Amino acid sequence: MKKDSKLSSVLHVLLHMAHSGQPLTSEQLAAFLHTNAVVVRRMLAGLRELGYVDSVKGHGGGWSITCDLKQVTLRDIYDAVGTPSVFAMGHRVEDPQCLVEQAVNQALDEAFRDAEALLIERLSDVTLADLSDDFNRRFRIQSQA
Amino acid sequence: MKKDSKLSSVLHVLLHMAHSGQPLTSEQLAAFLHTNAVVVRRMLAGLRELGYVDSVKGHGGGWSITCDLKQVTLRDIYDAVGTPSVFAMGHRVEDPQCLVEQAVNQALDEAFRDAEALLIERLSDVTLADLSDDFNRRFRIQSQA
DNA sequence: TTTTCATGTAACAAACAATAGTACATGAAA
DNA sequence: TTTCATGTACTATTGTTTGTTACATGAAAA
A-chain residues near B131 (CB < 8 A): 103-104, 107
Rounded Cα–Cα distance for residues B78 and B69 (Å): 15
Q: What is the mean pLDDT of residues B97-104?
A: 96
Long-range contacts of B95-103 (CB under 8 A, 24+ apart): B98/A12, B98/A32, B99/A135, B99/A138, B99/A139, B99/A142, B100/A12, B100/A15, B100/A16, B100/A19, B100/A32, B100/A135, B101/A8, B101/A12, B102/A138, B103/A15, B103/A131, B103/A134, B103/A135, B103/A138
| Residues B35-88: tens digit of each pLDDT | 999 999 999 999 999 999 999 999 999 999 999 999 999 999 999 999 999 999
pLDDT of residue B1: 66
Tell me the shortest Cα–Cα distance from A114 to chain B, in angstroms: 7
Interface test with chain B among A35, A101, A112, by most B beta carbons within 10 Å: A101
Query: What are phi and psi for residue A66, nearest 5 degrees?
Result: -125, 10
Q: Is the pLDDT of residue A1 over 80?
A: no
Asked if the Cβ–Cβ distance from B12 to A134 is below 8 Å, we say no
* Contact at CB, B115 and A118, closer than 8 angstroms: yes
What integer pLDDT is reported at residue B20 of this predicted model?
A: 94
Asked if A141 contacts B141 with a C-beta cutoff of 8 angstroms, the reply is no
The DSSP annotation for B1-47 comes to -PPB-HHHHHHHHHHHHHT-SS-B-HHHHHHHHTS-HHHHHHHHHHH
B54/A contact by beta carbon, under 8 A: no
Q: Are B103 and A96 in contact (CB under 8 A)?
A: no
Query: Of A48, A16, A20, nearest to A29 (Cα)?
Result: A16
Taking only the tens place, the pLDDT of each residue in A38-85 is 999 999 999 999 999 999 999 999 999 999 999 999 999 999 999 999
| CA of B17 vs chain A CAs: smallest distance (Å) | 11
Q: Is B84 on the interface with A (CB under 8 A)?
A: yes
Residues in A 23-52 with any Cβ partner in B closer than 8 A: 32-34
Give contacts of B4 with chain A, Cβ < 8 Å. 1, 88-90
Nearest to A19 by CA among A54, A55, A53, A65: A65
Distance of CA A57 to the CA centre of its chain: 24
pLDDT in tens, A96-136: 999 999 999 999 999 999 999 999 999 999 999 999 999 99
Is the domain defined by A6-85+127-140 classed in CATH 3.30.465.10? no
* A107 interface with B at CB cutoff 8 Å: yes
* A58 CA: distance to closest CA in chain B (Å): 28
Candidates B92, B116, B139; nearest CB to A12: B92
Residue type, A77: I
- Phi and psi dihedrals of B58, rounded to 5? 80, -175
Q: What is the pLDDT of residue B145?
A: 78
Phi/psi at B82 (5° precision): 105, 20
* Residue numbers in B near A2 (CB within 8 A): 1
Task: Please tell me which residue of chain B has the smallest CA distance to A107.
Answer: B131
CA atoms of A64 and A62, how far apart (whole Å): 7
Q: Which long-range contacts (CB under 8 A, 24 or more apart) does A135-138 make?
A: A135/A15, A135/A19, A135/B99, A135/B100, A135/B103, A138/B99, A138/B102, A138/B103
Once rounded to an integer, what is the mean pLDDT over residues B4-33?
96
**Beta-carbon separation of B8 and A92 below 8 A:** yes
Name the fold adopted by B6-144.
Arc Repressor Mutant, subunit A (1.10.10)
